[in-house]
Amino acid sequence: MAHKPSFMPRLEPRGHASPSMVYLTPLLALVVTLLAGGLLFQVLGFNAPEALYTFFISPLTTAYGLGELVVKATPLALCAIGLALGFRGNVWNIGAEGQLTFGAIFGGGVALACYDMEGWWILPLMVVAGMVGGMLWGAIPAFLKTRFHASEILVSLMLTYVATLILSLLVHGPWRDPEGFNFPESRIFSDSALLPVLLAETRLHFGALFALAAVVGGWFIIARTFVGFQIKVMGLTPAAGGYAGFSQRKVVWLSFLVSGALAGLAGVSEVAGPIGQLQPTVSPGYGFTAIIVAFLGRLHPVGILLAALLMALSYLGGEAVQIGMGLPLAVTGVFQGMLLFFLLASDVLIRYRVRFGRPQQEAKA
């Protein structure tokens, strides 16, 4: 390859992955995103500090805002922990959105079926149904992958569109609220089918505890269990996993069932929590944003928890700048995308060092 001019920065492999960079790069990515975001606001003709304040700080100044932060972080964390498990094992489930939708359908279905009933058992049943729904929807790509080698990326994504259409079909048809003036929405769930609110004056609901439990459970699987080790080996070096006698099929199935169940849990928590009914859309793309959350959190449950809060903030920030400054809501997506890019780019620092200055003296004479 032609030699580069000497002032170009070069990448030099480190002997070891840098442990400090593993933790520093997400922060670095965040800082660069803030700078780039500020620049973007400035270019669009807004006062950058004010816009950044509105986006990142103002949502956190009220108790309600803090509650909303957790409400939005809950489905993100639930989905992302499941996805992270798979990503570690090189299983690319990108259809968490569909699995979330199916969880909502199954859980919501139970709620509607039990509309006239009361009892403590309704909520647990909904939760289980939601998880089963998510698992079923996740089982399809797992089956097609292990049986026919069909790309799980494409299948799980296609199924997301299908799941959304099924939900739409249901709320336009059989599950439409009979007293709802033909709006494509289900009945509002009965009180027995709604998750309790944890903090008065906010929408903070019981689902947040599910997310916390998932963080602990996810950490335990990854750090302590042999299954977690197998997933890690399969993700890093499949050939070594095969040599050790680990099974690729097992990793695929496990990843999809766990992430499906968690996404389903997120779905049922949404409809039994802040939404309270079935609507044509039950998620503003939590399942996709969870992909960013998983990477930003370094595929580690604790990191994911922090990343989920940050991403939740980006949703709130988007709403805040829309209301406060008239900026389009899509600014959220831009911020999320930028953050993921900068994170991926700065990841290079874990394995490589950047060297400036004269790289290599050429062998000229």
| Contact positions with other proteins (CB under 8 A) in 221-250 | 224-227, 229, 232-233, 236-237, 239-240, 242-245, 247
Cα–Cα distance between 112 and 94 in angstroms, integer?
A: 29
Query: Is residue 157 a contact point for other proteins (CB under 8 A)?
Result: yes
Cα torsion angle, 101, 105, 110, 113, sign = positive
* CB 96, min distance to other proteins, A: 12
Region binding other proteins by CB under 8 A among candidate stretches 47-55, 86-94, 101-109, 251-259: 86-94
- Residue 146 contacts residue 253 (beta carbons within 8 Å): yes
3-class state of residue 11 by DSSP: strand
Query: Is residue 1 a contact point for other proteins (CB under 8 A)?
Result: yes
Query: Is residue 41 a contact point for other proteins (CB under 8 A)?
Result: no
Which residue from 197, 178, 174 is spatially nearest to 187, judged by alpha carbons? 178
Query: Is residue 5 a contact point for other proteins (CB under 8 A)?
Result: no
- Could you tell me the CA-to-CA distances from 353 to 16, 172, 361 in Å, in that order? 11, 56, 19
Nearer to other proteins, 43 or 200 (CB): 43
- Given 23, 121, 161, 183, the residue binding other proteins (CB under 8 A): 161
Cα–Cα distance between 181 and 337 in angstroms, integer?
A: 39
- Given 20, 43, 116, 363, the residue binding other proteins (CB under 8 A): 363
- Could you tell me the CA-to-CA distances from 10 to 21, 211, 349, 354 in Å, in that order? 18, 42, 12, 6
**Binders of other proteins in range 89-118 (CB under 8 A):** 92, 94
* CB 266, min distance to other proteins, A: 18
**Binders of other proteins in range 300-329 (CB under 8 A):** 328-329
Cα–Cα distance between 43 and 205 in angstroms, integer?
A: 39
Residue 201 zone, left/alpha/beta (φ > 0; ψ -120 to 50; rest):
left
* CB 83, min distance to other proteins, A: 11
Query: Is residue 336 a contact point for other proteins (CB under 8 A)?
Result: yes
**Binders of other proteins in range 266-305 (CB under 8 A):** 288-289, 291-292, 295
- Given 42, 62, 151, 281, the residue binding other proteins (CB under 8 A): 151
Region binding other proteins by CB under 8 A among candidate stretches 61-69, 193-201, 255-263, 355-363: 355-363
* CB 356, min distance to other proteins, A: 15
Nearer to other proteins, 71 or 222 (CB): 222
**Binders of other proteins in range 164-203 (CB under 8 A):** 165-166, 168-169, 172-173
Helices marked H in 245-285: 248-270
Q: What is the 3-state secondary structure (H, E, C) of 288-343?
A: HHHHHHHHHCCCCHHHHHHHHHHHHHHHHHHHHHHHHHCCCCCHHHHHHHHHHHHH
